[in-house]
Amino acid sequence: MNKETRQTLARASRFTSPGFDRGWAAQVHMANRPQDVLSVMLGELWVIFLAVVLIVGILADEPWIIAVTVMTGIIAIGARVWARLALEEVRYSRHVAQRYLFPGEETELTLTLENRKPIPVPWLHVHDEIPKELQALGVKTVRTERSDSYRLEDSLSLGWYERVRHRFRIRALHRGHVRIGPAQLEAGDLFGLFRARLEVRSAETIVIYPNIVPVDDINFLSARPQGDVLSRIRLAEDLSRPSGLREYVPGDPIKRIDWKVTARLGQPHVRTYDHTADQYLVIMLDAATTVNAWDGFRRPMLERGVTAAASLAARADELGYRVGLISNGVPLAGEGRMVIAPGADPRQLLVLLEALAMVRPIAIDPLSRVIGASPKAIPFGSTIIAVSSIFPDSLLAELDRLSGRGHPVMALYMGDAEPPRSGGRFQITSEGERFDVPYPTAEEVPWWDD
């Protein structure tokens, strides 16, 4: 992939998540997590203790006990009210410097906290969920009850009408369409007797593209009539590119006769057109890694396939192909099919890589069925590259059908065993090892759950 293409893909996209503008009563509630139970109980017991001491002082007619108890009670009530108001008019937002990353790249995450009231916040804890596909650098992180994320922790204090920004570096570890968040803010009174929490459910999206490895040595089969490879079929003429005139011969379509020239020369002449210079390439990715769905999936095989598809798409885009994608993987929304027709949009490669970043280890249908239901995504004369770690008989039959209709077909096997045999019209080559991608190590993410 050339430098210009990589710079385009890695172009920063700046955005800031909105704060919460609802009333404090809808956002703040007293802490009720298991680790906060002791603190809450101590605060409640302190109030009960003061009430008992006050009653004893009244019954014993001891003015000093009553005075001290009343003063202490006022402080306790003030602390409770302070805790209730601590997170009122507190705004929390994130700023991600770059939303699109490749594995190994880093970007800056800025957390902004703003106190918009005349009451200071003596202490404030921030807990933000970070997906395991990202590594937070230079900040405290802890495990969570979820296996797919961990928690970033930060502590600070806010004066009245004060704004604080904390900046951290985050590194992309693995492909994915990930979200930072939700977050939880926790604050309380100066003495720590009472606490309140605010749930910030907004989340920021980061797209981590798949790895791209060099595939310069893979020669794409082509249906192009001229060039560095032989053609097996002739591409259709492009009616938007007239090239000249020639005499009419039997079999020429009547609609191509140029009647003005025919009348002037006295002999029938037809218009001619250049053949299209566009080449189409459709990558067909099989998200299934086992023959039987109940056998689960093999993550290394899936990642090989995704890496291969991304690398082939980037290489084909450099060579000027119009690239499309057909996969039986489940899109992020969980609906529809992952089918992207070849297009001339400059952002076509971005769309393909983002779709590949979302591929999950779930196959909605056999790939052969998805191919058969998507004829419009396979233009006439398109080069076909099938990527699979199993190549079931149904897929082999579908590829053989496409090959018989004039499509140059290539098949890349991602498995470790011997590649299956094709029907003879195309070859299956074993290319799995070259697309192996590194996984995050135990030192980088100690709680990574394979």
- Unique residue bearing structure tokens 């749930």: 199
393, two tokens: 């008989």
DSSP 151-171: EEEEEEEE-TT-EEEEEEEEE
> CA-based angle 75:78:79, to the nearest 5?
85
Indicate the CATH number for domain 280-435. Answer: 3.40.50.410
The DSSP letter of residue 124 is E
Closest to 104 in 3D by CA, of 179, 211, 4: 211
Q: Which residue, chain included where needed, has tokens 């906290």?
A: 113
Quote the pLDDT of residue 225.
44
Q: CATH 2.60.40.10: which residues of the chain? A: 3-208
CA dist., res. 309 & res. 5, Å (int): 17
Phi, psi of 396, rounded to the nearest 5 degrees: -60, -40
Give dist(CA 291, CA 42) in Å, integer.
59
Q: Which of 450, 435, 438 is nearest to 132 (CA)?
A: 450
pLDDT in tens, the chain (450 residues): 555 555 545 443 333 333 333 333 333 333 344 445 555 565 566 667 767 776 777 777 777 777 777 677 677 777 778 888 888 999 999 999 999 999 999 999 999 999 999 989 999 999 999 998 999 988 888 887 777 788 888 888 999 999 999 999 999 999 999 999 899 999 988 877 778 888 888 889 999 999 999 999 888 876 544 444 434 344 455 555 566 788 888 878 887 888 888 888 888 888 886 555 568 999 999 999 887 766 777 888 999 999 999 999 999 999 889 999 999 987 765 556 789 999 888 899 999 999 999 988 888 789 999 999 999 999 988 999 999 998 999 999 999 999 988 899 999 999 888 888 876 778 899 988 899 876 655 455 544 443
Instruction: Note the residue count of the chain.
Output: 450
Report the C-alpha gap between 16 and 165 in whole angstroms.
13
Q: For residue 123, which of 144, 154, 150, 80 has the smallest C-alpha distance?
A: 154
The two three-digit tokens of residue 349, written as one number: 């490669």
SS3 264: helix
Under a CB-based contact definition with an 8 Å cutoff, are residues 313 and 323 in contact?
A: yes
Give the full edge-to-edge strand order of the sheet including 15-16. 15-16, 90-96, 106-115, 163-172, 134-137
Tokens at residue 73, please?
């009670």
Token pair for residue 426? 């195309």
For position 228, what pLDDT does the model report?
A: 40
Q: In which residue are the tokens 């570890």 written?
A: 173
Q: How far is Cα 206 from Cα 204, in angstroms, rounded to an integer?
A: 7
Tokens found for residue 416: 């470790």
Strands (E), 287-408: 322-327, 338-340, 383-388
- The model's pTM is 0.73
pLDDT of residue 2: 52
In order of 32, 122, 195, 244, the CA distances from 37 in angstroms are 6, 21, 10, 86
Q: The domain 3-208 is classified under which CATH number: 3.40.50.970, 3.30.70.1230, 3.30.70.100, 2.60.40.10?
A: 2.60.40.10
Pick the closest to residue 356 from 171, 204, 211 (CA basis): 211
Token pair, residue 204, equals: 């920021």
| Cβ atoms of 172 and 149 closer than 8 Å | no
Structure-token pair, residue 40: 């809450």
d(CA 112, CA 200) in angstroms, rounded, equals: 13
In the chain, CATH 3.40.50.410 sits at 280-435
User: 107 is written with which tokens?
Assistant: 């970007």
Instruction: Identify the pLDDT of residue 286.
Output: 94
d(CA 290, CA 366): 11
Q: How many CB atoms lie within 10 A of CB 14?
A: 9
SS3 386: strand
Give the dihedral of Cα atoms 187, 189, 195, 198; nearest 10 deg: -30
Pairing of strands 383-388, 338-340: unpaired
**Alpha helices for 156-265 (secondary structure H):** 259-265
3-state SS class at 330: coil
Residue 214, judged by CB atoms within 10 A of its CB (0-12, 13-18, 19+), counts as exposed
| Cα Rg of the chain, angstroms | 32
Nearest 5°: phi and psi at 442?
-65, -30
Residue entry with tokens 């890694």: 289
